[in-house]
Structure 1
Amino acid sequence: MEYVGRVPCPPLDRFVDDIYCLTGVPRHRRMNIPPMPSAHLFLNLGGPVRLRDSDPAVPPAVLADGWFLGVWTRRFLVEYPARVRLVGVHFKPWGMSPFLDMPASELRDRWVPVDAVWRRSVDRIRNQVGDIASATETLRVLEAELLSRLAEAPSRGLDLVLHAGGRLEMSDGTIPIGALTARAGVSGNHLAAQFKAHVGVTPKRVARIYRFARLITSVDTLRPVDWSELAHAAGYFDRAHFSREFKDFTGHTPTEYLALRRRFPAEPGFPPDAGPMPAD
């Protein structure tokens, strides 16, 4: 499967990590996706994609057109069709906020059809990119769509979230939340309320996900792994807490995860594979 992506132009780069095309035959049909510091937009140009929550009480979904995924606080499973053709957006955790007229809290741990948010837009976008062979041109169309939908004036509290969220991103979630509130001159409750409105979760939760992402991306499966050293470098100072969170986020112990990664190495130059892992 081929991944072609790029960082969009300003001002989109304040809200989007990258836009991309995913095409071809997947090496693994079923992927286990841990929480990562991102929200997503998917426009599906191929066969249906199946999503399954790690919470067994949540019914699985079959998604054929387009859907938004908010920030996830637990893992979920995606099952690709035999051949994939998908256009996507990796938003920063707060990145969906200026594009959607709804609180981000309504998208926490949820997938929502694009047409439920952007009325009657999926068919139009699919028609624009459906016959385009070039990934570069497809990404140009997607970038233009995002620019046309970017709110001219930031909604209340978004600037605060951008500033605080940027510091969490730069520190990989290790900066104390008290330092964020002191720097911003606001109370912890106010910052938490703004994060829930624009991210869907509290800054403490965002910090946890950034910290976990730092740990996952620092694993070098070609060398012996000192989990205590990696955990400490990522900001985990309690080994028991680290072990519990790792199992919650991946469904595996660190040892099991490492064995899985060594059995199924990540594809070079394939950003989505930094966190997701085969489930088959």
Structure 2
Amino acid sequence: MNYQTYEPHIDLKSLISCYWTLEVPKQSETQKQRIVPDGCIEMAFILGDDIKRYTSENEFILQPRAMVLGQTIEPFYIEPTGFVKTFAVRFYPYGFANFVSEPISNLINKETPLSKLFEKETADDLEQKIIQAGNTIQRISIIEKFLIERINDEKTIDKIVKNTVDSLLFTNGSASIHSILKEHLSKRRQLERNFKKQIGVSPKQLGKVIRLQTALKMLLDQKAENLTNVAYESEYFDQAHFTKDFREFTGINPKEFINHENLSLSTLFYK
């Protein structure tokens, strides 16, 4: 399994967290992988064999080969059908809204083909260029040209929304909306309305996902001696609160997560 990340161009650093690639050889026996929320939106290109996304225990769809994965607030399973080769762009929570007119809330918990978000001819042309590129550096150059051309200079990230996201990231999701807005509490409704439009989820939901990320990284890096310490270091009220949120976003409890056999992909991304 080969997972690599790459820094974005300086003009896109405020909107894009990174580019990443993943290559996994074809396995004799494939296995479902549980993917847990990370608070980001991703544009992905499947360059290898198809990937299944399970919609129920036994039913699945094939992921679009050029798609945007919106905000996810619940875990889901994927399973490769053969050789895995993926190139993707990981946007900050408020980043992708700058490139499309589609409400971000329409993308939540699903994959949306690029052809549904951009003109079909444009989306198809971009996909073919990514496929035909000789290496990752060329793909990054192609996607950056595409994105930079689409930034609308007259459209700026809503300051209230960006400040809220920055505060949530800085405090690992533990900051309350009350403390973030302080003297501007009258703007809370405006914040929640604009936040949902640009991010796709509420401030509270994003805060919970970010705080969970802190706990997940501690579990995976084995930086805490027990679950009580993980809850404390992640600033949960108590272990019961931690376990409740953990199960909401991963579908299992923390003890099950640590040794779960189908979490190798999520482990890779979080570490």
TM (normalized to structure 2)?
A: 0.88
- Aligned equivalent of 2:131: 130
Deviation at 1:196, TM superposition (A): 0.5
Partners of 2:14 and 2:186 in 1: how far apart? 22
**How many percent of aligned residue pairs carry the same amino acid?**
19
Partners of 2:216 and 2:25 in 1: how far apart? 25
Partners of 1:117 and 1:42 in 2: how far apart? 13
CA contact (8 A) 2:48 2:86 kept: yes
Number of equivalenced pairs: 268
Deviation at 1:213, TM superposition (A): 0.4
Partners of 1:48 and 1:37 in 2: how far apart? 25
Deviation at 1:185, TM superposition (A): 5.9
For residues 214-225 of structure 1, the aligned pairs below 5 Å read 214-220=214-220, 225=225
- Aligned equivalent of 1:247: 247
Deviation at 1:183, TM superposition (A): 5.7
- Aligned equivalent of 1:226: 226
- Aligned equivalent of 1:273: 269
CA contact (8 A) 2:54 2:61 kept: yes
Deviation at 1:176, TM superposition (A): 1.6
Deviation at 1:224, TM superposition (A): 6.6
Deviation at 1:37, TM superposition (A): 1.4
State the AA in 1 paired with 2:47. Answer: L
For structure 2, which runs of at least 5 residues remain unmatched after alignment?
none
Deviation at 1:97, TM superposition (A): 0.5
CA deviation map 1:182-206 (0-9, x unaligned): 2656532221111101011111111
Partners of 1:44 and 1:140 in 2: how far apart? 18
For residues 80-159 of structure 1, the aligned pairs below 5 Å read 80-120=80-120, 121-154=122-155, 158-159=158-159
**C-alpha distance 272-26 of structure 1, shift in aligned 2 (>3 A):** farther
Partners of 1:190 and 1:139 in 2: how far apart? 36
For residues 52-67 of structure 1, the aligned pairs below 5 Å read 52-53=54-55, 56=56, 60-67=60-67
**C-alpha distance 223-8 of structure 1, shift in aligned 2 (>3 A):** closer
Residue 176 of structure 2 is aligned to residue 180 of structure 1 = no
**C-alpha distance 186-141 of structure 1, shift in aligned 2 (>3 A):** farther
- Aligned equivalent of 1:205: 205
Residue 237 of structure 2 is aligned to residue 237 of structure 1 = yes
State the AA in 1 paired with 2:18. Answer: D
| SS in structure 1 of the partner of residue 105 of structure 2 | helix
State the AA in 1 paired with 2:48. Answer: G
Give the number of the structure whose residues are more often helix, by fraction. Answer: 2
Partners of 2:76 and 2:64 in 1: how far apart? 18
Deviation at 1:100, TM superposition (A): 1.1
| SS in structure 2 of the partner of residue 241 of structure 1 | helix
Partners of 2:248 and 2:209 in 1: how far apart? 12
| SS in structure 1 of the partner of residue 37 of structure 2 | coil
Residue 170 of structure 2 is aligned to residue 163 of structure 1 = no
CA contact (8 A) 1:5 1:19 kept: yes
Partners of 2:208 and 2:224 in 1: how far apart? 25
Deviation at 1:222, TM superposition (A): 5.4
| SS in structure 1 of the partner of residue 13 of structure 2 | helix
Partners of 2:69 and 2:196 in 1: how far apart? 15
CA contact (8 A) 1:29 1:81 kept: no
CA deviation map 1:4-29 (0-9, x unaligned): 32121233111111112223426764
**C-alpha distance 161-84 of structure 1, shift in aligned 2 (>3 A):** same
CA deviation map 1:51-80 (0-9, x unaligned): 124xx49x7321242111111111111222
CA RMSD after TM alignment: 2.7
Partners of 2:146 and 2:264 in 1: how far apart? 31
- Aligned equivalent of 1:33: 35
